[in-house]
């Protein structure tokens, strides 16, 4: 515990405190944010018992043991009630000698502010138990937001017949142990308190309503930020004005290392939900702000050129990167390679340029990148890789194809200052794995449909590659058009696989459902598997164009729906796809909306309802 510097003649002795902390692992590894929390809890605990996932690896067990007094292995630490019971049992008779027992787990990020402050404040309040936040007053439309598990029990509880009858087993697995304890303690007549209540009260003390505001709690000094906020349905958070990005900014300003949150979130929350809740979209300027020239990054530009006349333009975009980058230009035959060498000439800013002939154009830019540049991507020689290609889209309307190409290149490398700001993102954020342009939507019906026929294939390929993260239900977060900037380490699940050109098939396989189109949707998922987050980037000019177009379409669609965004989304999900608007489609929608049980039975019988 922290040293007590108060006058020993006048000060109340510091409470003797036991802490039980339950934490799960992912693929054997304990999250760094949990270790950070444990290190801070260590300062406030005379006894620190950690209930750890039995599937944890040796390194994780050693890291936890270095900070804890006792480590208890259990099959499922997410079954909080059982995990707490295991931890309490390990504390054993030492409970007789403590003034407070803290039961908590890895359901929160923090501490954002010093735990000592809230412990000191609550020490003057004569409750028999206290929780950090309300555990029974969450708005009904935010049931998915789980309050942090945190309850502090004092001697009135620990020495009571109630405690002995309950045998120290708090709550029931599958529900909040804190909420279950609070309910039982209140019913048994114990007095409780809340360090940071969310209920607004009138002057007469009566509750007026529920105010769900994590931002207000942080501003008031709450040290815990509920992890579940970032995985909640975005429409629910929007209804309450909860902006995840602002919460992270608050935490960072208070000194919390927010890089710790991303490996836990990207592996447990679908990319589009997380991207929306945390606003993982950056509008970059052209001034080069934030770039640190004293910390240059080793950059490889991997450029696949099928159309040699496009090579000078692509190289001009690459030359906007900070000087000293290497370039590998892949192309499918020697004739093209000769033309590319001729049109490129001397490349200013590049340390070296290699034009490399790959064995086949099957798979196009995807195979050229994953097979033709595999050695460089796996060699740890580069901090960043910039993937570009001579995209033409001859199958599309010429105006639409031009817009798509410009949308990619002009949102990645439109100017030297912009490129410097993009690289600066990676300099600042060690867990940023990939940066890509926003999903194209002007001229392409991508909104809500961008999986097309690729989702099943993506799920199968993720299983093959060991990528075990949630897939988006709607359009996936992905670098559409396959141009992006990434850390090679973030792409290891893709580049470590031994691909062959035959895997991709010929030109006839370059369709939705084919390997190349499936791979286009995987880089963000691969990065997440490695614990990296992704950000979309755009210029102010493109953001203006995109936002006004989306606002127009959303307004037109919303005019025929309930005004509340959450209700509108729920309604559309309940009725299902509109299809082509035939009477059968409307009959199916009516059945799904008004007779969901009958529709479910029909689906089980194989009918498309």
pLDDT (tens digit, 9 = 90+) per residue, 237-287?
A: 998 889 999 999 999 999 999 999 999 999 999 999 999 999 999 999 999
What is the number of alpha carbons within 13 Å of residue 190 lying toward its C-beta? 25
What does the pLDDT average to over 473-478? 96
For each of the domains in the chain, give its residue range(s) and CATH number, in order of start: 17-197+213-256 (3.90.550), 282-538 (3.90.550), 557-604 (no CATH)
Q: H/E/C letters for each residue in 598-609?
A: HHHHHHHCCCCC
Q: Which helix (H) or strand (E) holds 464?
A: helix 455-465
The number of angstroms, rounded, from the C-alpha of 559 to the middle of its chain's C-alpha atoms is 32
Q: Do the beta carbons of residue 224 and residue 36 sit within 8 Å?
A: no
424's tokens: 């600066």
Encoded tokens for 264: 């836990």
* pLDDT digits 0-9 by tens, 380-422: 999 999 999 999 887 888 899 999 999 999 999 999 999 999 9
Q: How far apart are CA 524 and CA 305, in angstroms?
A: 24
3-class secondary-structure state, position 456: helix
- Would you state the pLDDT for residue 115? 97
Q: Poorest-confidence range of 136-140, 210-214, 521-525?
A: 136-140
Please state, in angstroms and rounded to a whole number, the distance separating the CA atoms of residues 547 and 245.
Answer: 19
Nearest CA-CA partner of 37 in 106, 124, 84: 106
Instruction: Please tell me which residue, 599 or 521, carries the higher pLDDT value.
Output: 521
Residue position matching structure tokens 């360090």: 195
pTM of the predicted model, to two decimals?
0.92
Instruction: State the first-to-last Cα distance of the chain, in angstroms, to the nearest integer.
Output: 61
Q: What rounded mean pLDDT belongs to the chain?
A: 91
pLDDT digits (tens, 9 = 90+) for 520-544: 999 999 999 999 999 999 999 999 9
> Tokens 């804890």 appear where?
68
pLDDT tens for residues 416-464?
Answer: 999 999 999 999 999 999 999 999 999 999 999 999 999 999 999 999 9
What the block records as the tokens of 177 is 């142990």
Confidence tier at 10 by pLDDT (50, 70, 90): very low
Q: Which of 108-112, 489-493, 566-570 has the lowest mean pLDDT?
A: 566-570
Query: CA-CA distance, 585 to 578, in Å (whole number)?
Result: 6
Rounded to whole angstroms, how far apart are CA atoms 124 and 306? 73
How does residue 3 score in pLDDT terms, banded at 50, 70 and 90? very low
Pairing of strands 150-153, 129-133: antiparallel
């Amino acid at each position: 515990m922290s040293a007590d510097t108060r006058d020993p003649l006048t000060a109340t002795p510091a409470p003797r405190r036991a802490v039980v902390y339950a934490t799960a692992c992912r693929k054997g590894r304990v999250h760094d944010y949990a270790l950070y929390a444990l290190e801070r809890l260590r300062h406030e605990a005379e006894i620190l018992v950690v209930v750890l996932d039995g599937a944890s690896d040796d390194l994780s067990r050693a890291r936890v043991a270095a900070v804890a007094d006792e480590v208890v292995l259990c099959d499922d630490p997410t079954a909080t009630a059982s995990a707490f019971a295991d931890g309490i049992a390990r504390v054993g008779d030492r409970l007789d000698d403590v003034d407070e027992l803290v039961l908590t787990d890895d359901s929160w990020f923090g501490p954002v502010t010093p735990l000592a402050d809230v412990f000191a404040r609550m020490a003057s309040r004569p409750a028999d138990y206290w929780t950090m936040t309300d555990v029974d007053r969450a708005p009904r439309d935010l049931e998915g937001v789980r309050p942090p598990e945190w309850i502090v029990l004092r001697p009135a509880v620990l020495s009571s017949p109630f405690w002995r009858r309950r045998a120290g087993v708090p709550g029931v697995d599958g529900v909040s142990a804190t909420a279950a304890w609070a309910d039982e303690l209140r019913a048994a007549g114990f007095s409780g308190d809340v360090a940071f209540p969310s209920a607004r009260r009138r002057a007469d003390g009566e509750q007026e309503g529920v105010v769900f505001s994590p931002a207000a709690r942080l501003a008031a000094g709450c040290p815990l930020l509920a992890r579940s906020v970032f995985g909640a349905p975005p429409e629910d958070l929007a209804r309450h004005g909860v902006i995840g990005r602002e919460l992270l900014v608050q935490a960072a300003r208070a000194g919390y290392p927010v890089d710790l949150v991303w490996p836990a979130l990207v592996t447990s929350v679908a990319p589009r939900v997380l991207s929306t809740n945390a606003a993982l979209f950056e509008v970059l300027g052209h001034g080069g702000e934030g770039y640190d020239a004293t910390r240059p990054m080793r950059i490889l530009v991997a450029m696949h050129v099928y159309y040699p006349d496009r090579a000078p333009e692509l190289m001009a975009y690459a030359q906007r990167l900070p000087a000293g980058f290497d370039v590998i230009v892949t192309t499918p035959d020697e004739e093209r390679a000769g033309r590319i060498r001729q049109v490129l000439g001397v490349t200013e800013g590049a340390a070296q340029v290699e034009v490399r002939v790959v064995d086949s154009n099957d798979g196009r830019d995807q195979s050229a990148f994953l097979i033709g540049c595999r050695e460089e991507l796996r060699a740890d020689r580069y901090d960043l890789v910039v993937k570009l290609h001579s995209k033409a889209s001859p199958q599309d309307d010429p105006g639409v194809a031009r817009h798509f190409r410009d949308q990619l290149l002009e949102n990645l490398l439109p100017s030297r200052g912009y490129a410097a700001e993009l690289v600066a993102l990676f300099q600042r954020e060690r867990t940023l794995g990939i940066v890509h342009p926003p999903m194209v939507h002007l001229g392409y019906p991508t909104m809500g449909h961008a999986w097309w026929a690729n989702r099943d294939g993506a799920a199968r390929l993720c299983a093959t590659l060991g990528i075990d993260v949630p897939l988006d239900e709607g359009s996936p977060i992905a670098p559409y058009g396959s141009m992006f900037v990434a850390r090679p380490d973030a792409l290891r699940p893709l580049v470590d696989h031994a691909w062959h050109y035959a895997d991709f098939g010929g030109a006839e396989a370059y369709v939705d459902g084919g390997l190349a189109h499936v791979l286009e949707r995987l880089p963000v998922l691969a990065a997440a598997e490695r614990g990296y987050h992704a950000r979309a980037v755009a210029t102010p000019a493109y953001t203006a164009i995109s936002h006004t177009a989306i606002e127009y379409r959303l307004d037109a669609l919303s005019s025929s729906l309930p005004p509340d965004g959450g209700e509108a989304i729920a309604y559309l999900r309940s009725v299902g796809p509109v299809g082509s608007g035939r009477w059968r489609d409307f009959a199916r929608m009516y059945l799904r909306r008004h007779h969901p049980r009958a529709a479910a039975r029909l689906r089980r019988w194989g009918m498309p309802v």
